[in-house]
Amino acid sequence: MKIVVLDGYTENPGDLSWSGLKALGALTVWERTAAADIVSRIGDAEIAVTNKTPISRATMDLCPNLRFIAILATGYDVVDVAAAREKGIPVSNVPAYGTAAVAQFAVALLLEIANRVGHHDHAVRQGRWASNVDWCFWDYPLMELAGKTIGIIGFGRIGQTTGRIYRALGMSVLAHDKFQNDQGKLIADYVPLDRLFAESDVIALHCNLTDETRAIIRSETIAKMKDGVILINNSRGPLIHEQDVADALNSGKIRAAGLDVVSAEPIRSDNPLLNAKNCIITPHISWASIECRSRIMDIVVSNVKAFLQGSPANVVNQ
């Protein structure tokens, strides 16, 4: 059984092992694969493992030996799952591997906005404290989160985990989600979207990207928010209209934003958020703790094993 990993570097830059997959077949691991090389690198392999390298209908047509596609992530939009279904190729993903880490990162973005720890550490190392006439200084208004209201759009596993943390910080939690449950009601008050926009001091996005949620944060919805609202997004980049958010940051309508995702990744040099005021951007790393990546590796190995045993698991195109 031939197995090819098309883009293994972000999953395993050297601190993990591919031994689990090696035990299951003849394994070839590519760090990255350009579009022009996808077909040749899959070749006659029966199993393809991908993270962000797309596998299209045309690729499947040109790789007739392909029998199974394993994704090193939860999202599976890089694979034409309908074409795979037609061809009888199961596609498996890795669900629920990073709830705690992604929630932790979302809270870290908000804490950085509230306290500006990184900025002031850098200022101290520049010598500004040593040369200061006062015993302390700060460059941004520091913010206490206790007593503030956070509105969470998308209140599934990650949203609820962040909600618990915010409550522990003394915040009131509002939530908006199509699917309400009793567990969520113990953490937050479910409210209509317009009320969430109107009452929240902080708005955090933890929803899926759908036609309904694409650009859910745009000029029309920003106008419904409090002046000086804070925005957190480490879910999906296209949930926000980037120019509208940049404009709101520059005008002060949005006090600050903490973003781990953007619409096109890697970020383009002309992205308006790069020059927006009070915008913290990190390079899509909420998922990247070694614990998360170890879980991804273990689940992908289990998915391949399940396929080889005739009972594919975590299939997204049944």
Q: Can you read off the two tokens belonging to residue 46?
A: 């029966």
Q: Where are the alpha helices (DSSP H) in the chain?
A: 19-22, 38-42, 57-62, 81-86, 99-115, 117-125, 157-168, 182-185, 193-199, 219-222, 242-251, 290-308
Q: Which is the catalytic residue, given 86, 144, 220, 265? A: 265
**119 noted as active-site residue:** no
Nearest CA to 110 out of 161, 166, 158 is that of 166
| Tally of helices (H runs) and strands (E runs) in the chain | 12, 12
Contact between 96 and 314 (Cβ < 8 Å)? no
For 38-66, give one letter per residue: b (16+ CB within 10 A) or e. Answer: bbebbeebbbbbbbbbebeeebbeebeeb
For tokens 């409550």, the residue is 167
Query: Phi, psi (5° rounding) for residue 263?
Result: -70, -35
Contact 194, 224 (CB under 8 A): yes
Active site residue 195: no
For residues 312 and 316, give the distance between their C-alpha atoms in angstroms, rounded to a whole number.
10
Length of the chain: 318
Q: Which of 236, 241, 255, 293 is catalytic?
A: 236
Distances (CA, A) of 23 to 143, 301, 305: 52, 9, 10
- 167 carries an active-site annotation: no
DSSP one-letter string for 95-159 = -SS-HHHHHHHHHHHHHHHHH-HHHHHHHHHTTTTTT-SSS---SS-----TT-EEEEE--SHHH
Catalytic residue annotation: 236, 265, 284
